[in-house]
Structure 1
Amino acid sequence: MKKTIASILTCAFFTVGHAQTSAGKLLLENLDNPAGIMEGQPRFSWQIQSKQRNTLQSAYEIKVSSGKNIVWSSGKVNTDSSVHVAYKGSPLVANEKYQWQVKVWDQNGKSAAWSAPASFQMGLMSPGDWKAQWIESGITEAPSRPSQLFRKSFSTGKKIKSATAYITSHGMYEAYLNGKRIGDAWLTPGWTSYNKRLQYQSYDVTHLLQQGANTVGAMLGNGWYRSVLGWNNNGNIYGKTLGLLMQINIEYADGSKDIVATDGSWKSETGSVTYSEIYNGETIDARKEKLNWNTNNHDDKSWAAVQVKNYPLTNIVTTVNEAVKKQESFKALKIITTPAGEKVIDFGQNLVGWVEMKVTGKAGDSVLLSHAEVLDKKGNFYTENLRAAKAQNKYILKGGSSETFHPYFTWQGFRYVKVEGYPGELKPEHFTAYALYSDMKPTGIFNSSDSLINQLQHNIQWGQKGNFLDVPTDCPQRDERLGWTGDAQAFSRTASFNMNVNNFFAKWMRDVEADQIDGLVPHVIPNALGKDGNSAGWADVATIVPWDMYIAYGDKRILATQYNSMKAFVESVRRTTKDDLWNTTWHFGDWLFYRPFDDNDGSSAVTDKHLIAQCFYAHSTQLLINTAKVLENTADVTTYTNLLQRIKAAFNKEYVTATGRLVSGTQTAYVLALQFDMLPENSRQQAADRLVENIKRYHNHLTTGFLGTPYLCHVLTRFGHSDLAYTLLMQDTYPSWLYPVKMGATTIWERWDGIKTDGSFQTPTMNSFNHYAYGAIGDWMYRKMVGLDTYEDGVGYKHIQVKPHIGGKFTHASASLQTYYGTLSNAWKKDSAQISMQVEIPANTRATIYIPGTDISKITESNAPLSSSKDIKVTGREDGYIVVETGSGKYSFAVKQ
């Protein structure tokens, strides 16, 4: 296929002239110059950079070296593959640093110069590479379970060439070398199914190590390991005792090596963090700080000896996803005195992270910061929707000069902060809010002529930022913050536009597999809630997310890695079915759908949960078939194709009347039946028409919940009703996407009416104001409204579709996406005279572009008739579009009205 694409484009389009082609933006395992690689055959990606239209790669050569030694040279490989190219050299060595370069040839056989070198470092690849021992505190723990300190002094007598620290813990850790913080990651080692998969992080600490005396230290907090998670005081899920595992691999200038590792020579104490829980917050008593405890200038004679533990190392894995880091900062917009007389800071944005406070006062002065997302209708501080979570940070001053406080092992979801006990005048400049989220690269930009829609996009992105904190959480503020599977699957494709979530989801999906119980998928991952699972639309995360990542990034490995998990889930459902109907287990259903207050016409939006389950059963089976085809597992293709036919036949027998009506006449029922092709082809258009009737019955409002909403506008567009999809998008009264925007939302709400029209709140026990699931409309905005998509014969935007659906009252809309190949973008404008499209296609790809119009003579490209372009091939007309094929480059189309 790849050679065919290259030859087609070369024959059809390429002109004689050459432009300089080069390779840049080198990635290994989707990361820039990463460390801690455990994968024996890591994958290389690069971008072809050229200003020439229709540029393709015809061949590449990769060389990998360690020092002056070349450890692998691929030789010239004739292919257009430039993404996820696997290493095929001799075995890579633990802790070793490597450099790599790539050279490419263009479609004319002309070679570019070698790229600038990139680097990667292998991690500790097996339990035998760990020389460190698990250590735990030797101090009897207080009931408040304060954070624990560990330290060791050591000496290096030679000139240091390089040093790498490998660290993990039971609980969260912060590590230091000679008083300096190691790395810029927070909430490490992240959250996984710890007993099966405990991540370690790798840090280059060469610049922190000094010849002579050194001190290494670490501070541990409860974190996800033993904080209460979920409800009913559900703590100590993974263990009761904090522990540290750390080693520093040192290489000296003379070639000799040394290791400093946790063992019985370390010492332990407690410090200023006297209490730390995820939901309740943190208490820091600066009077209890151990001065210079992580430097050479501290006497640790009173510290206790540590306890060495012989825990197995077989569950330890490297970190493949981006770490949580401090991101945007927010100054206090204003300080409010509420009607209740409280002092409240407004940061203007509902965010996830914490507040850093500067304060001067006397020893023992205490400041309490409480966090909230909204104010009530009277303007008072509102925390009832946090349920049992206190979400408070308390700081006790040591007195004297100015002090700075922020928490270490917790975070909050908030826009407003109530301040109590602050000594002196409360000033905005004393408070800065920092957002925390996984350090995924921003990839997508969307803009339009409508300011409310632009704010909706802002809210979608900030909902993702706030809840993509190492795992895809449902909400970040109340006593939950769990990796709910239904939310994640509904939003995963939208997420892949806004940020590069390839590694983020690859890591999380491994925990899905780790926590499956005989194939059954728990409701939350990591599983903090017990044995319940396999709810339709939640458990289907096992199949939906791997396939979404494959489509978005062309990442075949995630399919291979997750295939057993995908198959085990489908089999776990099959075992519970009767006559091929998944109607024997409990399901959440179309969670938080719109419930009309007036149901006199009997058109309630309640959708039969087992009808929903049957649709998702079919969808997961279809995705398993798709994956089996990609992996060339022909036996499974046959087996599950037969199963899928039976699933759909059972659906039509059980849930469809003789006249083609669904037994649940709701929007969600018709949306799912159409999205997943549950109905015979000759019945689908009439089902789509019934969906339209339903929407109009609700005065052009949606009634869908978590499972129907992501597909609603897609189905309307697919069946010729893009005008109604636009009407729903632009609806600004309840229920709609824009209603929260008009109510002042800066993130996506959990409920359509989290704040009612009279300013009162929905049920406080379930009313998050930062809950990204309904933000899945973003996927329609990016892929249908602006039209940026990828074909399945060239996943990961190797074969691109640009097909905008222009409508509504918009005069323009644009989107750009940073793909692995480069920038893909489209910007359309419409006025009475013409429709224009500015399109950019990255090098080493091809595109099928749909230009709105039916008369080729009225279309120009770069101010010349379309028919005269040598770089573009017109292939036909389709549904009101002129269809063209192009290669890379920038194109300016105009269609006269």
Structure 2
Amino acid sequence: MLEVIELRCEYKINPVGLDVTNPRISWKLKSDERAVMQSAYEIEVAEEQDFHAVVWGSGKVISEQSVHVELDGLNVVSRKLYHYRIRVWSTSGDNSGWSETAYFETGILDNTEWRAEWIGVIKNEAELEGKPESPSERSPLLRKGFEVKGGVKQARVYASALGIYELEINGSRVGDSYFTPGWTSYKHRLQVQTYDVTHQLATGENAIGAMLGNGWYKGPLAWENHHCLYGNRQALFLELHISYADGTEQIVTTDASWRTGGSPILMSELYHGETYDARLEQPGWSSAGFDDDGWDEVAVIAQSNEVLIAQENETVKKIEEIKAIELIKTPLGETVIDFGQNMVGWVRFTVEGAAGREVEIHHAEVLDSEGNFYTENMRAAKQTIKYVLKGGEPETFEPRFTFQGFRYVRLVGFPEPIRLEDFTGVVLHSDMASTGRFECSDPLVNQLQHNIEWGLKGNFLDVPTDCPQRDERLGWTGDAQMFIRTAAYLKNVAPFFTKWNRDLAADQREDGGVPFVIPHVLNEDSHSSAAWGDAAVICPWTIYLCYGDKRILEEQYGSMKAWVEYIRRQGDNEYLWNTGFHFGDWLGLDSKPDTYVGATDRDYIATAFYAYSVSLLQKAAAVIGETEDASKYGELYEKIVAAFAEEFFTPSGRSSVPTQTAQVLGLTFGILDDKAKKRATAKLMELLEESKFHLTTGFVGTPYLNHALSDNGQNDAAYKLLLQQDYPSWLYPVTKGATTIWEHWDGIKEDGSFWSKDMNSFNHYAYGAIGDWLYRSVAGIDTDEQAAGYKRIVIRPRPGDGLTWADGRLDSMYGEIRSYWKKTDGGMELEVSVPANTTAEIHLPGADLASVKESGKSLDAAVGVVSSKQVEGSVALAVGSGQYKFSW
């Protein structure tokens, strides 16, 4: 039976508030048969769910495409709900019948349609003159009463803010998103969220209210306590559209008629925490009938609507909760709670006491060697929650406009006895769908995989941050490009990185240079390091590769090209990059004393990444039909490779840069000829033997290290590196109790002391890029570049000493891909799942063609196996969709 399932529009299930004028539809096929391929599809779009009046139909289209299908010719209009359904035909003639109905709803497509005004709070003359005010201040409340007549058919709120906001209607929270409108390049792009509030309205008197926080817009950012980087006053922008059954409409907007008062939040900052005085609560402030006569008038603020865009990525939400596991009395006599997991979010707690009693919660990632609460690595970030009780009954509280990175919390002022059940860790991050799972026979590697995933959870809070705890939490470009391929296995990160890459393009300099962090909040000199700025090219290409999304290449192509042309103008000649500031192999272990930069020559790194970005740009140009550019950049790439060889290699292929990272980059980026590749592989093995098979690579070399080994005949060495347990290695932090990835290989040393105070995050995902190798080489799940997005799948597991089995799963745009191998007595087994409407190339390592069985049958008798051949060291198979079990 053939079914169409999991319909999505722009990656999302039933999205509301889209401002995409040419939306794309994707679906999956479900079938118990093997070798199922779609031969045709038909899409219908209607305004009503019964499809009696179809507003657009594709007709029967002969095509295999089931991902990112554009609804060409459908002219969408603002604030309209569109239902759609799909049916498909297979190559065997099966017809799926119509799918279940899905929908998408547009938001405001034209910014001239907005009717609302921006409103804020008049504080003092200094603010009106544009002078920065105090970075820490009381959060304001804003409210408006309105009347609703009966027969509400539909109600939508469209909202944004300068700062961050929460909404309430009639005393209940609107939506389940946090830190809205999110962090973008605010001067160019400001997101609008859409909420369905139909069931929150009542006939008669109603009220809507908002609370504002400083957030990224106005609060301190980075490590020099700069605040008000985007503006010096908070503001709210909102429209409530009520559609009645009789066809009439009512619109409630932010304007001068709103009122404002003070909230119980006396201070709220992302880095420093929140102070809340429950005695200042105003019950019913967002409900009808509340007396706001003592409240002030709001100020109407001048703010352009031209920068408004609809929500692009998934919003931040409460994803899960963690129970406290241990109550600790430290050697210093402090009361500390251990949640057992380094996490990002906040603590919800219940406390009872007299009115006016103040309690505090401090947050930390680790305890020191003596078991005491350790906060020095937070630098200036206070990460402190202060709560003043209103008294009486037990009171439960959780913050609104701040988040912390922590495993441990220190309690101050809480009445005894402390009960663990009164404290819950609330995990927040962007609500990306989970797509990957990896397990193997080694429990330490499984913990490493856990740590990689929790590093993503902690640092994918609206932007890809470097760390979630200290006074930084910035979108470092280098970290993002190093980790993006791993992230694309773990979660559906396409909308997340689409938004972030648009901000990169918005903040990119006129000369094509790329800031170190996106959104850009550092000084004007902080831009364009090799391996960091290359995120402009690497990230869009990776999203295309993993999701088959040509549109991101089309959108970002100007940015990608501008970055390459920026590099081209920098060097002493246009084929080498040997000028400017570069981070180099950041935190490489072969660095000189008192420096963070590894020993690999920075010009070597810069030119290698130059060549790599040009190669990706050339491929992108070919994909989107920029044939002239594809030819031009192909020629440029060849000249860079020649100049690179002349500059850094002898005629016999010996590298002038004898470091692990230098060999790794040369091998991985494909910029070495055969002679140099052999020399580089041999040199890398020599260096590993010298270090007793321990890495010395930093941020630049580490993501590619094991790939360079496995791809060049040294898979056993890659496994040896993975499974090392002493410093430096991926498993060393695991043996020290890590539950996330560390910034430094020895963040905690063997004697329990710390690497440093100022740069020692215990939740820093860059070294988690080893996850890419676990999925792509150990499990062996990859995509063919010529049929990106896993339309044509490559299953090429590479077993090695130390593991007896490995199981990788990836929920791709087409469905679940699985590769599970295990060693048996004298042989191997491999179980593979290939989703419908795809094909796969499967490699059986060490197999002999004559001995291979599929579900106990010979390959000739196996349905779905299209071809098989013996190749060096393995058997290569071409198969259609389905589940297979090979043994040999």
TM bin (shorter chain): over 0.9
The 2-side partners of 1:280 and 1:309 are apart by 28
**Structure 2 letter corresponding to 1:48:** L
Structure 1 residues 300 and 226: alpha-carbon distance in aligned structure 2, compared to 1, 3 A threshold: same
Query: Mapping of 1:239-278 within 5 angstroms?
Result: 239-278=231-270
Residue type of the alignment partner of 1:55: V
Question: Does the 8 Å CA contact 2:318/2:428 hold for their aligned counterparts?
Answer: yes
Partner SS, residue 435 of structure 1: strand
Match of 1:554 in 2: 548
> What residue identity is the alignment partner of 2:97?
A
Other-structure match for 2:327: 335
Give the corresponding residue for 1:564: 558
1:154-208 per-residue CA deviation (whole Å, 9 max, x = no partner) reads 0012310000100100000000111110000011110000110000101100010
Q: Which moved more, 1:113-122 or 1:138-147?
A: 138-147
* Partner residue in 1 for 2:306: 314
Indicate if the aligned counterparts of 1:328 and 1:434 stay in contact, CA closer than 8 A: yes
Check if 1:480 corresponds to 2:472.
Answer: yes
Q: Distance in 1 between matches of 2:789 and 2:801?
A: 29
Cα distance, 1:871–1:231 mapped onto 2, change above 3 Å: closer
For 1:878 and 1:372, the matched residues in 2 are separated by 54
Q: CA deviation at 1:663?
A: 1.8
* Range moving further from structure 2, 108-117 or 732-741: 108-117
Greater alpha carbon shift after TM alignment, 345-354 vs 803-812 = 803-812
User: 854, 858, 865: which is aligned to 1:861?
Assistant: 854
2:826 counterpart residue number? 833
> 2: distance between equivalents of 1:258 and 1:707?
56
TM-superposed CA distance for 1:849, in Å, is 0.7
Match of 1:6 in 2: none
Q: Which residue of 1 aligns with 2:42?
A: 61
Deviation (angstroms), 1:699: 0.4
Offset, 1:91: 1.4
Mapped partners of 1:605, 1:263: distance in 2: 56
Indicate the SS of the match to 1:766.
coil
Specify the SS of the correspondent of 1:312.
coil
Deviation at 1:873, TM superposition (A): 2.6
Q: Choose the corresponding residue for 1:98, options 76, 82, 102.
A: 82
Q: Secondary structure at the match of 1:789?
A: strand
Matching residue of 2:25: 44
2:9 is the alignment partner of 1:28: yes
The answer to whether residue 281 in structure 2 is matched with residue 302 in structure 1 is no
- Is residue 358 from structure 1 mapped to residue 350 from structure 2 by the alignment? yes
- The structural deviation recorded for 1:139 is 4.4
Contact residue 72 and residue 88 of structure 1 kept, 8 A: no
- Output the CA distance in 2 between the equivalents of 1:333 and 1:367: 21
Gap runs ≥5 in structure 2: 128-132
Counterpart pick for 1:118 among 102, 108, 111: 102
- TM-score normalized by structure 1? 0.96
Range that drifts further, 31-40 or 109-118? 109-118
Contact 1:358 1:430 in 2 (8 A): yes
Of 138, 148, 156, the residue aligned with 1:146 is 138
The Cα of 1:108 is off from its aligned counterpart by 1.9
Q: Is 1:76 the equivalent of 2:76? A: no
Amino acid at match of 2:557: Y
Quick check: 292-301 or 114-123, which moved more? 292-301
Q: Secondary structure at the match of 1:354?
A: strand
What is the percentage of aligned positions where both structures have the same residue? 49
- AA matched with 1:458: H
The answer to whether the 8 A contact 2:584-2:598 is kept is no
* Kept after mapping to 1: 8 A contact 2:864/2:881: no
Mapped partners of 1:625, 1:338: distance in 2 = 58
Aligned with 2:16: secondary structure?
coil
The one-letter amino acid of 2:548's match is: G
Pick aligned residue for 2:533 from 535, 539, 559: 539
1:828-848 Cα deviation digits (max 9, x unpaired)? 010323200111100000001
Q: What CA distance in whole angstroms lies between the structure 1 residues aligned with 2:161 and 2:98?
A: 41
Q: Is the 8 A contact 2:849 2:869 kept in 1?
A: no
1:364-410 C-alpha deviation (Å, 9 max, x unpaired): 10011000000000000000000111110100111111111111100
Question: CA RMSD of the aligned region, Å?
Answer: 1.4
Matches within 5 A, 1:316-715: 316-518=308-510, 519-531=512-524, 532-579=526-573, 580-595=575-590, 606-715=599-708
Distance 2:796 2:398 in 1: 48
SS at match of 1:710: helix
TM-score normalised by structure 2 residue count: 0.97
Partner of 2:220: 228
The answer for the alignment partner of 2:753 in structure 1 is 760
Residue 630 of structure 1 deviates from its aligned partner by 0.4
Instruction: Name the stretch that deviates more: 445-454 or 142-151.
Output: 142-151
Letter in 2 for 1:57: Q
Kindly tell me: are residues 348 and 690 of structure 1, through their superposed partners in 2, closer, same or farther at Cα, counting changes over 3 Å?
A: same
Cα 1:511–1:598, aligned 2, differ >3 Å: closer, same or farther? Answer: closer
Conserved? CA contact 1:73–1:89, under 8 Å: no
- SS of the residue 1:500 aligns to: coil
Q: Which moved further from structure 2: 867-876 or 284-293?
A: 867-876
**Contact map agreement 1:874 1:882 (CA 8 A) in 2:** no
* Superposed displacement of residue 596, structure 1: 7.5
Q: Deviations over 1:274-318 (max 9, x none)?
A: 001111111001111122111114100011111112321000001
Q: How many residues are aligned here?
A: 872
2:130 corresponds to = none
Q: State the one-letter code of the partner of 1:806.
A: P
Q: Distance in 2 between matches of 1:451 and 1:366?
A: 44
- What is the alpha-carbon distance in structure 2 between the residues aligned to residue 524 and residue 867 of structure 1? 55
* 1:172–1:188 Cα contact (<8 Å) kept: yes
Contact 1:365-1:423 at 8 Å conserved across structures: no
Q: Deviations over 1:708-744 (max 9, x none)?
A: 0111111111110000000000011111000000010
Residues 843-889 of structure 1: per-residue CA shift (max 9 Å, x gap): 00000111123422211111112232242133322231111111110
In 2: Cα distance, 1:870 partner to 1:816 partner: 23
Structure 1: unaligned runs, 5 residues or longer: 1-19
1:462-488 deviation digits (Å, cap 9, x = unpaired): 000000000000000000000000000
Question: 1:173 is matched with which residue?
Answer: 165
Superposition deviation, residue 648 in structure 1: 1.6
SS of residue matched to 2:75: coil
Cα gap change, 1:605 to 1:199, in 2 (>3 Å): closer
Checking the alignment, whether the CA contact within 8 Å between 2:586 and 2:598 is kept in structure 1 is no
